[in-house]
Amino acid sequence: MMMKTIPTVLMALAFAGSSSAKSLPESPDKIQDPYADLVEGKWVHQKEPVKPGSLPFWFYADKKRARGKEYPLVIVLHGRRSKAKEDEVFKVQGIATTWTKEKFYKKNPCFVVQPYYPPKGGWEKIPKQIDEFIEELVTHLPVDQKRIYLVGFSNGGQGTFQTLARQPDWFAGAVTLSGPVSPKSVVGKIKAPVWAWVGENDTPLNKNVRLPALVRQLQDVDKRVKLNIVPNAGHACINQSIANPKVQEWLFDQKLPD
């Protein structure tokens, strides 16, 4: 009897773990309204969600380079905003703008989006909104769906790992900074290579326990996952990680198989 029930249980568990995973919709050949109005060659703030119930965001695309061609999509998840006021304007952050600096962007044109959530929230609380927001982007933008990337700092790093695990077939790669999660929640579910970073002076729990344990277990499944501990750096070692040209080039070298 036990030999018959164990496979059944395993199949049920596997199904439950993958029930939220789905395929992305097809992308159009050109930018669709209302996103066409956001292509300004500068950062544009979409304070009200384009779709009711979705997320507000900052958006960047170059007019000269975003026509008639598919481009990679970089989605940037910010850290927790627990000290922000409800009416405070969310400003685009360096973890996003670093991808649009001319030296890099000229070589690697792309769509860069930094969604955000209200204060006192966390990405772990809105997985459905994240997924639907990404679907919304690829439905309106000519995205190269073999080159969709996630970048996350702190709570955004946690959200990155969770999103990679929830939708493993969507992403070609990710960079995270100072954002560990429980290994059991993501190990065996993530398919994309991840380059994780943490500062040497971050909390001992992050630096010595959580991130190393997470990366070790992810590496048991995929050797492309790696961890760098930045000397003399704290929680926000952005210049050495996300803003490092070598890290950016590594991410853009990642591509889903044909």
Identify the segments of the chain with pLDDT beneath 50.
Answer: 1-18
Bridge partners (DSSP) of residue 227 are: 196
The whole-number pLDDT of residue 205 equals 84
Strand order in the sheet with 71-77: 44-46, 57-60, 111-115, 71-77, 143-153, 173-177, 194-199, 226-230
Give the integer Cα–Cα distance in Å for 215 and 225: 7
Domains of the chain: 27-253 (3.40.50.1820)
Give the integer Cα–Cα distance in Å for 2 and 176: 42
CB atoms within 10 A of CB 74: 24
The whole-number pLDDT of residue 3 equals 37
Q: Prior bond to 118 cis, omega within 30?
A: no
The whole-number pLDDT of residue 13 equals 37
Give the integer Cα–Cα distance in Å for 203 and 184: 21
- pTM given for the model: 0.90
